[in-house]
Chains A and B, each alone.
Chain A
């Protein structure tokens, strides 16, 4: 069977050995030790496994690793630059937009994708964009507030 032997993740080419059909989620977590990306449902319904592929949010649990080959993959571990948190990470902390925080990586990655296409989304747009991400603890209003805060801060030229 066809194999994938390297992936570009968080700006680094990583060696690995995976079937092209293996889920990107399992490869990130098992082979590359990038466990910030979470398993939540395995059917693309909860968003906990969201990563960026060429800048767009994808559910890594239903993404065959072969599809990500040669593309630029960003996970939650790759957002902070030189120890400096991404504005969305800062905003999630500021708004306390988490309880158990198991959904947080997926929420942040989905929101990064949103702000790249719409730098100042309305509340409705934010809710639409995150509708596929489940938070069981019920921090939704805080997550919306965090995305709004990050949008303001990014427009201010911080990033």
Chain B
């Protein structure tokens, strides 16, 4: 089993980092002289754990290297409670549970005694962020190593203190025991609250997946009860004594400059703090309602410049190429004259996390603490330090488990806004974005245009393959099929909306284009779409998921009635292998497309928590169904036209088909992440099924925002 893989946290960061101009440049020194009252509540945590870190000089480093000392990751209290520290964050992907399992496994103890501290820049080691499906392959492994090292250290301690041979002592059930001398002590009793002061060795005796007793099992969500009782405090639920509610006055459209603002009515309102700093205008008030009311009284005027529309976005992308470096793997051979070619497009879509951006900021002198929902607490800490011109050490960002993100919460807008208002108000301020703000001022999954050209030989083998993605990104760009000649390229362009990562990044767009086009090629070659794929696949793991999905689905499907169609698609990305089959029904009279049944087979190495994994694969399919069929951001002249759930359609109960999941557990392979890749199969599988049912090839996501026009 190859566990000793590279676990450097520096995983192609440029593909995940949000690229865009800084949201705010504040002119703090002139407008706000930081005259703090000095009587604000002291909120920086000074509990024993923090003090111990600071006194022992083991506070997390500011570098990107993973700390090597066990104590940076684990602490065992005298009462036996294990605290685990990780900069990763929980947004519903269930890593709080899977990481707990990993630690329990190596410490040979119950999960109930383990508490995971996540995404707190003061307490947890630096982490670049929770994205790219990296938690399971990197953090799960890192914590297992730390826990294994702790276990071995505890065995050393016990053997020394009992004066018995080291090889006789065993760890189990939260205790170290020696059968011969009949000694036994809990971890807490052995350590007596001391730190686990030892380095994690490079080689640790990790339990192979075949012998897992805690991992590999369907442990329920560790803090599930807090969620079903409403007790869990999300970022938007946070509260501090004396806290005010903040509202930001937004520009009338994108890409504008403030030319006029009349704050006078708001400034006259009792209890309302009004801030204007550069183009930032915001208010803070004792209630959300008063803050909204005050913000609404502020009159503003903004410059106007014409901006592109969603109706012309694809031409815009194609006509505004950037010279910036692109990923490509190009041969010198160009397309043969007889190549089949097609163009696919994907629209801008919104993550629409059910909890919008939220942050609570509190200053104590020039020290800032912010509770916010972000996938990058350390990144937001940097944003805050930079915007407010204070040192990183003076900023603490905490991330309470958050109401989802899907790649959409890499940035710290609400954190900056809350902190700016709190600075002026000299009181804690909470900013919770409205749904309209979230739909407008967050960022979007990029739109894209993809050109594909290919030829197939007489034996059904791919010969020439050309694939160019404009704007949407390079993830999942390279075909897993064995073409003799490949020209694959990501071409960056200028783009009209603020854009960033989304679950699976561009892999969704690239798989949609590739797997739809593979279907086109199969039909041209008069081959069954599954057979055509298998003939061109060398990757046994990908073949295995295709075969597993097809078997469960009953491929090629049995047409019981007209208007039914069957499609298949799949791929490999981020170490996960997915194949998805779809059955759809088209209602002739209305053109309505209904997805009847989805079967997905997924393989990501050794499964850490099968129920959590199944949940992710189901959820990816359902989320992917929205982008496949009807989700699209409509925009015109710097405004979002459908910034509400009443206008932007997301999948609801009646859209959800029967879903069956096949999980392939490869205990001989390292575990990969699973939160993203399962989303890539559904759009092309549905598109291929629609073609099967109707003969109409849909090459644009979303495929049927208003039903299918049947010619």
Contact = CB atoms under 8 A, between A and B. Distances in A.
B619 A45 contact: no
B59 to A, nearest CB: 31
B116 interface: no
Nearest to A127: B653
B572 interface: no
Contact of A85 (B228, B245, B353): B228
A36 B618 contact: no
Interface in A134-150: 134-144
B623 interface: yes
Interface in B277-332: 287-289
B471 to A, nearest CB: 25
Interface string A67-100: 0000000011101100001000100110010111
B233 A35 contact: yes
B227 A136 contact: no
Interface in A1-50: 19, 22-23, 26, 29-30, 33-43, 45-46, 48
A103 interface: yes
B435 A22 contact: no
Contacts of A98: 92, 221, 224, 227-228
B600 to A, nearest CB: 12
A22 B186 CA distance: 55
Contacts of B237: 29, 35
B644 A43 contact: yes
A93 to B, nearest CB: 5
A54 interface: no
Interface in B254-289: 287-289
Contacts of A33: 239
Contact of B225 (A30, A85, A108): A85
Interface in B190-247: 220-221, 224-225, 227-234, 236-237, 239, 245
A131 B654 contact: yes
Contacts of B356: 39-40
A35 B237 CA distance: 6
B184 to A, nearest CB: 34
Given A40-B354, A131-B653, A136-B623, A45 B646 contact: yes
Contact of B650 (A77, A85, A136, A142): A136
Given A39-B432, A93-B224, A96-B221, A102 B656 contact: no
Given A45-B644, A100-B402, A141 B228 contact: no
A137 B404 contact: yes
Contacts of B162: none
B352 interface: yes
B237 to A, nearest CB: 4
Contacts of B636: none
B621 interface: yes
Contact of B229 (A80, A100, A133, A144): A80
Contact of B615 (A96, A103, A133): A96
A40 B92 contact: no
A135 B287 contact: no
A96 B435 contact: no
B228 A140 contact: no
B534 interface: no
Contacts of B234: 35, 38, 102
B224 to A, nearest CB: 5
B94 interface: yes
B230 A99 contact: no
A133 B656 CA distance: 13
Contacts of B611: 96
B354 A93 contact: no
9 contacts: A43-B645, A46-B354, A98-B227, A100-B353, A100-B403, A127-B656, A136-B406, A138-B619, A138-B656
Given A92-B228, A138-B621, 15 more contacts: A30-B245, A35-B236, A38-B236, A39-B356, A45-B646, A46-B435, A76-B230, A77-B229, A99-B92, A99-B616, A100-B91, A101-B403, A136-B354, A138-B618, A138-B656
For the complex of A and B, list the 4 residue pairs with the smallest distance between their C-beta atoms, beginning with the closest: A36-B230, A100-B92, A138-B622, A102-B403
